[in-house]
Amino acid sequence: MVQQAESIDWTAVNIAVPRAARLPDVVMAGFEQRVSAAPASVEIAMVAHPSVTLLFDLGGGDRLVCRAAGRSGRGSAVVGLLPGELRAGGTVGACLQIRLGPVAAAAAFGPTAELVGGMAALADVWGRSAAEQAEERLRDAASWDARFAVAGDLLGRLIEERRERRPPVDPEVAHTWRRTLAGRGRVRVESLAYETGWSRKRLSARFGSQLGITPKRAARLVRFDHAAHLLAAGLPPADVALGSGYADQSHLHREVREFTGRTPTAVASAPWLAVDDVAWPRRTGRS
């Protein structure tokens, strides 16, 4: 039995969230099939999000299958910015998903340009030994609270270790990302460059080399993410376009199509967005 993206039964899935944010610019959620639910092979589609995503297969045996940007793989994975549509599924009993904002991802794994628009095995990004040890500790944890604590500890240690070996993201780059998020993508690169004291050319070059995308592209992705949630909330596309800073409804349609390959109507009914505020409470912030 395969539950397609349009018919996911979320009542058969437990969703766990941390009681408090553990690391800046990092949010987590746990997904686990209810014991009472009949085992099923599930496939869900996730739309583009302004973060680097870690997916930990906690069921073992590489039962998690991910497909993005023309690539597919089994087991725990890392999905970069702008993958278009990410499809994840399989007979997975439990999965931990961690969203790292680009600044946090760069601090943990280095410049993320190679991950933009693509997907890789967790072992290829984190290192096989470290990835296997992380999976083992997470699977051995007795509860979701314990798993969140383990994940926060592992990522925190990784960021500290790497910070000692190389300079962190430029403060000007981090500021530009924070301002882009705060403005929901409705920011001008010229204004951001002025705030940092850099030229637009230098800001774009440094931002791109460290986070993998240009400031303009980042703003478009953040604006799309805001618009997608408004669509999921039931607002008409015309109102979403106006409220999100698009020139008109056609402009919104083109952006949604570019980021997801779908229409605004299809994005509005995406199952992943239907539980987004449960899995990623606004109080923890969106990375």
- Divide the 287 residues of the chain into consecutive groups of 10 and give the mean pLDDT of each group: 42 80 88 64 71 86 72 83 69 83 90 74 91 94 95 93 81 96 95 96 94 92 93 93 95 92 85 73 45
| 94-100 and 26-33 strand pairing | antiparallel
Pick the closest to residue 224 from 270, 191, 193, 190 (CA basis).
270
Write the DSSP string, 216-272.
HHHHHHHHHHHHHHHHHTT--HHHHHHHHT-SSHHHHHHHHHHHHSS-HHHHHT-HH
**Contact by Cβ (8 Å): 227, 244:** yes
Report residue 137 as tokens: 């500790």
**How far apart are the C-alpha atoms of 50 and 218, rounded to whole Å?**
8
- What pLDDT score does 7 carry? 47
- What pLDDT score does 67 carry? 75
- What pLDDT score does 145 carry? 94
As a whole number of Å, the CA-based R_g of the chain is: 19
Geometric angle at alpha carbon 151, from 148 and 157, rounded to 5°? 135
> Which domains are present in the chain?
2-166 (2.60.120.10), 171-274 (1.10.10.60)
**Contact by Cβ (8 Å): 267, 228:** yes
User: Quick one: DSSP state of residue 64?
Assistant: -
**How far apart are the C-alpha atoms of 212 and 208, rounded to whole Å?**
5
- What pLDDT score does 92 carry? 61
Query: Which pTM value belongs to this model?
Result: 0.86
- What pLDDT score does 197 carry? 97
- What pLDDT score does 40 carry? 56
- What pLDDT score does 72 carry? 75
- What pLDDT score does 284 carry? 33
